[in-house]
Amino acid sequence: MVVLCFNDVQSLDITGPLEVFASANKIRRPDADDEPYECALVSAAGTVRTSSGLTLLTDKLPLNTAGIDTIVVPGGFGARHLASDDPTVRWLTRAAPRARRVATVCTGAFIAGRAGLLVGREVTTHWAYGEQLQNEFPEAAVNTDPIYRHDEDLWSSAGVTAGIDLALALVQTDLGHEASQTIARWLVMFLHRPGSQSQFAMPSWAPRARLSPIREAQNLVAADPAADHRVGVLATKVGMSERNFTRVFLREVGVSPARYVEDARVRTARVLLEKRDGTTNSIAHRCGFGTAETMRRAFIRHVGIAPDHYRGRFGNV
């Protein structure tokens, strides 16, 4: 197993998975002759400096790649800026077809993309870079919701600490559930982290429409998410027919008016839950959901976890 290194790599993308594999070696079966994982750090330069300032001594990129089982490609600032003709990318292009699998951590998916490994594959990455990855590699199916993703011989994970989740999944595939569960307990982690990346992503507003009636509707929703924003009501307020308003809104904003209103209410509720500003029931009413159950269903759709769980993880202490 080799971990591909380069300057400005995210150090935790390397050390997190390595700790998992090292733990797997410690709990190997008594009758096993060898440790299950033999890990090596490799780079084009031999020495790399991580984005946090750590200097790593590595082996040079091996010329003979026949014995490599798994290639781990970490992310970080450097991963998004390696050119396709960089020696690191060229090596991965040659080595990947001979390996059993490639596993990308965070924005390591950009390196895999430049090596031609994302064509026709579903891949995940850090939630903040999903759109950029999709734009740069339109032949891939980018899904930033999962913590990690497995598509044939390509594994990928979300940002930073998700590399540990990915490594645990690899261990479970290789050595079984008991081994991965034991390692997760030692590391004080979930074996399968509840929820998806949506719970960590910062709420973001949809694009502002070019047409003034649609912008006016957006402003009405932003000013008071809890108000009556049924499609017919919004259409009347901006002087359009309901059918035409729905059609134009979808074209201008990219989502339906109903989805836009629900997005706005979920964003508002997330802020109130983080501040611990009221009970779940009161927040549901203040944000326009009407009932806590309606808000719970919306949260599951948008964030992947229930409001109470969200507040437990992200609320102010």
The pLDDT score that the predictor gives to residue 70 is: 96
CATH of domain 212-314: 1.10.10.60
Residue 197 has what pLDDT? 54
Proportion of the chain above pLDDT 90, given as a percent: 58
Question: Domain-by-domain residue ranges, the chain?
Answer: 2-199, 212-314
Mean pLDDT of 65-92: 94
Q: What is the pTM of this model?
A: 0.66
Give residue 232's pLDDT: 94
Q: What is the mean pLDDT of residues 257-281?
A: 88
pLDDT in tens, 123-135: 999 888 989 999 9
Residue range 211-266, pLDDT digits in tens: 989 989 998 988 888 999 999 999 999 999 999 999 999 999 888 999 999 988 99
H/E element, 282 = helix 280-286
Q: 190: which residues sit within 8 A by CB, 6+ positions away?
A: 165, 184
CB distance 272 to 285 below 8 Å: no
Q: Give the pLDDT confidence score for residue 277 in this predicted structure.
A: 77
Mean pLDDT of 305-317: 79
Q: What is the pLDDT of residue 117?
A: 96
Closest CA to 149 of 112, 113, 123, 111: 123
Tokens describing residue 175: 């050595």
End-to-end CA distance of the chain: 41
Mean pLDDT of the region 295-307:
87
- In CATH, the number for domain 2-199 is 3.40.50.880
